[in-house]
Amino acid sequence: MIGKAIYAGLMVGIGVSANLMLENPILGALLFSLALLVIMHNQLYLYTGKIGYFNFTKEQSKILVLGLLFNFIGCLFTVSMNCGDPTYIAEISRAAALKFEPSAIQLFIEAFFCGILMFTAVNSKKTIITVFCIMTFILLGYEHCVADFPFLYFVLSFENIIKFLLIILGNTIGSIFIHFLVKEKENGKKRL
C-alpha cells in the first residue's frame, strides 16, 4: 500500500505541475485528469479515491491515515523536484498565496464538492466521466487535499494548517456523503 500511495501522490504532483505551468486552464485541467486515470488504471492508493468507501473499522482508519500521509509525500516530492525552475517557484508561490486566501468555511465547502466529484470519478469507472469530474473540480477551483498539500508549504501558518485540515474533512465528508446516497443496502435495495 505504501508504494501505491506514494505513486498516487507522485501522479497528483505531476497533475499539479501540469495545471500550474500551462497558460491554458482547460488544457491544464485536462492534463491533471491524467493523474486519476493512471491511479485508477494501476489500482493505486489515493485517499480521495478511497475515503468514500470507508467502513469505519480501526484497521481501515490506520490504512487511510497512512495512505494520506504517503500521498502527501509523493505529491510533495514531485513538486519539490520542479522547484529548481525559477518560473515554477514563482507560479507555485503565487498560487499558494491565493489558495489559502478564502475563509475556512469557503475552503471546506469547495473541498466538500471536490469530494463528491472525486467519488463520482472513481465510482463511475468510465474514462470520460473521470476526465470531466477532474476538469470540473480544477476549473471551478474546488479543493483537493493531496493536490493542495504542496501549496501549504509555501504559506505555512497555524491558520492555514487549520484551513488545510478542513479541506481534508470536506473531501472526506463529500465523498462519504455521495456514496451514502447511492450505495446499495445489504439486502440489495438502493437507498432512495
- Residue in the structure block whose three cell numbers are 529548481: 84
Is residue 12 within 8 Å of 45, Cβ to Cβ? no
Distance CA 5, CA 18 (A): 20
Q: State the pLDDT confidence band at 55, using cuts at 50, 70 and 90.
A: confident
- pLDDT by residue (tens digit) across 107-139? 999 999 999 999 999 999 899 999 999 999 999
- pLDDT by residue (tens digit) across 95-104? 999 999 999 9
Whether residue 27 is predicted with pLDDT greater than 80 in this model: the reply is yes
190, β-bridge pairs: 184
Average pLDDT of span 31-56: 92
Q: Average per-residue pLDDT in the chain?
A: 92
Instruction: Find the range with the poorest average confidence among 50-64, 88-102, 137-151.
Output: 50-64
Distance CA 184, CA 144 (A): 27
Distance CA 136, CA 114 (A): 9
Q: State the pLDDT confidence band at 187, using cuts at 50, 70 and 90.
A: very low
What stretches of 125-182 show up as alpha helix (H) in DSSP?
127-140, 145-154, 158-182
Whether residue 186 is predicted with pLDDT greater than 70 in this model: the reply is no
Query: Phi/psi of residue 141, each to 5°?
Result: 80, 20
What residues contact 137, with CB distance under 8 A and at least 6 apart?
113, 114, 117, 118, 144
Q: What is the pTM of this model?
A: 0.89
What residues contact 1, with CB distance under 8 A and at least 6 apart?
45, 63, 66, 67, 70
Q: Which residue has the higher pLDDT, 27 or 79?
A: 27
Whether residue 188 is predicted with pLDDT greater than 70 in this model: the reply is no
- pLDDT by residue (tens digit) across 159-170? 999 999 999 999
